[in-house]
Amino acid sequence: MISLFADLTVIDVSTVLAGPSVGTFFAELGAKVIKIENPSVPDVTRSWKLPVEDPSSDVSAYFSSINYKKEYLQIDLRTTEGKKEFFKLIEGADMLISNFKFGDEDKFGITDDILRAHNPKLICGKISGFGSDSDRVAYDLILQAESGIMSMNGTPDSGPVKMPIALIDVLAAHHLKEALLIALLRRQKEEQGSTVTVSLYDAAVCSLVNQASNYLMTGKVPGRIGSLHPNIAPYGEIFTTGNGDLITFAIGSNEHFRRLCGYLDCTELSIDPRFDSNPVRVINRKELFELLQKRISTTETQPLLEEMLKQKVPAGKIRSLDEVFMDKGAKALIREEEINGTSTKRVTSIAFKWE
């Protein structure tokens, strides 16, 4: 990765996932990132461990996933000496990333005005749960619950289900990265610092995209339909092959459907009035699933997927993480580092590539 930000210094006083992942993003792009933790109350994710992890280590896999290529300092902002050390770092910094609880900036005496008295060009990036004026404690699960995501996720039988990753934290982090990059561009033109804020709530609601428009334009409240797509079929149905593998298709056009039916030797389905267009396939998706499953249950996985790839029909096997990280492409995204004597691994925060 090109060191785009070799001259950039970032102070990261955030904890948990969203803020620290933004710090890692800039670190991977060459910035000097200094993570500051309270000596008596360090980042809580250091203790978020699987049962198989070493309980005596001060580094967890969770902590490692979003802390990479950083320098670590312990500073107590409640003390005079700690605050003095902190302000010294701020004077030489370009950016501060934080997710302080409501009121903490005033309590510690590190408001934007005070910080910019030490460094007028400082860019402040802040993450909150429900907005900068709310003192409500927020974790990703609560945002998934209150933004409507859990109400749509799962099946009619399962009840509401959270995503298996902290999706809202990840989305909020991406929004803050974008805002901070814009703030850097603005500083180049205006030569002054600025403050950008992102709330987990706003990031969650903004991620509803087509589901939001479906509701806003039709009044239909989406229910739990598992992996199915409300507007497209077959899309998200889970089929079992003759090998016992689970596969799925994203049939986004009539041509995709025609090619799939051709391979499965059931071309009659592609001209059947019940299935010859996407709108009627959505209406009759259960019957269509049963007809396709009958064919797929006698079909071997690999030849099917290879032919779909050849014919440019979106299809994939549902893979577990051990299968994912057998893939050459996934392996290339792994980053390793030793933190406090512990060997750590994570996937990169940089998904784009330079051509």
Nearest-angstrom CA–CA distance, 148 and 157: 18
Question: If we measure between CA atoms, which residue out of 266, 267, 253 comes closest to residue 293?
Answer: 266
Secondary structure string (H, E, C) spanning the chain? CCCCCCCCEEEECCCCCHHHHHHHHHHHCCCEEEEEECCCCCCHHHHCCCCCCCCCCCCCHHHHHCCCCEEEEECCCCCHHHHHHHHHHHHCCCEEEECCCCCHHHHHCCCHHHHHHHCCCCEEEEEECCCCCCCCCCCHHHHHHHCCHHHHCCCCCCCCCCCCCCHHHHHHHHHHHHHHHHHHHHHHHHCCCCEEEEEHHHHHHHCCHHHHHHHHHHCCCCCCCCCCCCCCCCEEEEEECCCCCEEEEECCCHHHHHHHHHHCCCCHHHHCCCCCCHHHHHHCHHHHHHHHHHHHCCCCHHHHHHHHHHCCCCEEECCCHHHHCCCHHHHCCEEEEEECCEEEEEECCCCCCCC
Out of 169, 245, 265, 327, the active site residue is 169
- Residues contacting 120, CB < 8 A, separation 6+: 192, 193
Residue 43 annotated among the catalytic residues of the structure = no
Q: What residues are labeled active site?
A: 169
